[in-house]
Structure 1
Amino acid sequence: MSRDLAAHGRRARAAIFDRLGDATPPVPKPAPALAPWYAAQAAAHTGTDRVARFVAAATAWHAQVVETTPTAWADAVADLVAEHGIRNPMAGPDTAIAAALDARLARTAARLHWYARDLETDKDLLFDTVDCGVTTARGGIAETGSLVLWPDAREPRTLSLVPPMHIAVLHADALVDTLHEAMTGQRWADALPTNALLVTGPSKTADIQRLLVYGAHGPKRLAIVLIRNDPS
């Protein structure tokens, strides 16, 4: 009996392998043509005000947007620091905003701290004292009101994640319409960091009893200092 079962099993396996061998190999499907779709999306935004759409979307997600000029952006940061009662902001050293930020906040009641590039060194200060992280933003997406952050050794992820408030300095010239445009135009595939971030409003969650809570997983306040080159 056992020999019959074993023989039956061998025949069944052989039949399966024979059918697999006789099967027509799968024909790879061509990749979908995405270029026409993305071209249509870009055409839909032609002539629209990208800045206005970004501001409207970001504000809808409860971000505070302050529009300013290349000569007044540091004043805008100082005004936000005063408005929100910030006493211990922190920023990354050797960035495009560091010198002007240092000079302007020196004339306020706040004490500007510099990230030391070592979390172990700054951990207690960052978690216990710093009440606002100030960073640059690589870009912004008008469709969703999202910031593109590109953390590095000078501006690590913790700087925009740990403090209860985040101020991001963004040039309006770095705004794009869609995520696809950001990824292709900035050539993300060439040099992705460990964390490429899309920040859409302050941190929020409704995991518990569907109650919306801000600040559960990051800053509960987000302010965007939007630098415009045009006088409007």
Structure 2
Amino acid sequence: MNARDRILGKLKQSLAGTTPIADDYDDALLTAPWSYPAEHRVTRLCSLLQAVHGETVLTTAAEWPARVSEALASRGIDELLISPATAHGQQFAGYLALNGLVTRLKAYDRPVEQWKDELFFSTPASLTGTLGGIAATGSLVVWPTPAEPRLMSLVPPLHIALLKASEVVDNLYQIMQTQRWAERLPTNALLISGPSKTADIQQTLAYGAHGPKELIVMVLQDA
């Protein structure tokens, strides 16, 4: 038995013979002030992201690879970190092959210790999916997985995120309930509300100090 099991066992024993307190929590306290008409959710999320120097692109499930390629070309970026194990990674790779484009694709296919310098100093951009969006705060929800580790969205200077418009909800409580987070919460859940920024030094706002300097959100309006 490991330390975790021992601690949980003691906690369970301490509850023997007790009666749980009835849960009379009012969900409306968290949801009512942060609810929006369905047709306004994406507009609000995009507006909040743009207010903090995030970029949003309204596109479709078929057209987003072209928009990603355009964003890379406009910045002079010729390589991109993707996950070949994801459907969107495969779709982008297929788009490049079909159109004869030469963007170099990198895969996060090894432990970070084996390519740390390349990841941190020679990987200008990454592409990841998202679990959804939150209209109330203009946030993306990103869950790291073995296919898309969290450093994919935290290290490269440019992070491109794919967001399905149908997965934008009103508030954090709603997404936690509808997606049943309590049953499958990962080690790290990321709420991304714009590029990395800080004003710690002389109260001067700087971007990219603790993560990506740029964030582009591809909003797939038909998905």
Structure 2 length normalisation: TM-score? Answer: 0.84
Instruction: Report the 3-state secondary structure (helix = DSSP H, G, I; strand = E; otherwise coil) of the residue aligned with 1:169.
Output: strand
> How many equivalent pairs are there?
202
- Unaligned 5+ segments in structure 2 are 1-19
Alpha-carbon distance in 2 for matches of 1:127, 1:152: 19
Alpha-carbon distance in 1 for matches of 2:200, 2:42: 32
Corresponding residue to 1:154 among 123, 142, 147: 147
Residues 31 and 174 of structure 2 are in contact (CA less than 8 Å); yes or no, is this contact kept in structure 1?
no
In structure 2, what is the equivalent of residue 52 of structure 1?
A: 43
In structure 1, what is the equivalent of residue 4 of structure 2?
A: none
Structure 1 length normalisation: TM-score? Answer: 0.81
Deviations 1:40-86 (A, max 9, x none): 336x4235511111111111121110110111011111111112221
In structure 1, what is the equivalent of residue 128 of structure 2?
A: 135
In structure 2, what is the equivalent of residue 4 of structure 1?
A: none
| Residues 1:35 and 1:119: Cα distance change in structure 2 (over 3 Å) | same
Deviations 1:4-26 (A, max 9, x none): xxxxxxxxxxxxxxxxxxxxxxx
1:172 aligns with 2:161: no
Instruction: Report the 3-state secondary structure (helix = DSSP H, G, I; strand = E; otherwise coil) of the residue aligned with 1:52.
Output: helix
In structure 1, what is the equivalent of residue 119 of structure 2?
A: 126
Structure with bigger gyration radius: 1
Alpha-carbon distance in 2 for matches of 1:136, 1:117: 19
| Residues 1:217 and 1:228: Cα distance change in structure 2 (over 3 Å) | same
Residues 78 and 104 of structure 1 are in contact (CA less than 8 Å); yes or no, is this contact kept in structure 2?
no
| Residues 1:29 and 1:114: Cα distance change in structure 2 (over 3 Å) | closer
Corresponding residue to 1:36 among 25, 28, 41: 28
In structure 2, what is the equivalent of residue 203 of structure 1?
A: 196
Which amino acid in structure 1 is aligned with residue 169 of structure 2? Answer: V
How far off its partner does 1:110 sit? 2.1
Alpha-carbon distance in 1 for matches of 2:26, 2:33: 11
In structure 2, what is the equivalent of residue 224 of structure 1?
A: 217
Corresponding residue to 2:63 among 55, 72, 75: 72
In structure 2, what is the equivalent of residue 83 of structure 1?
A: 74
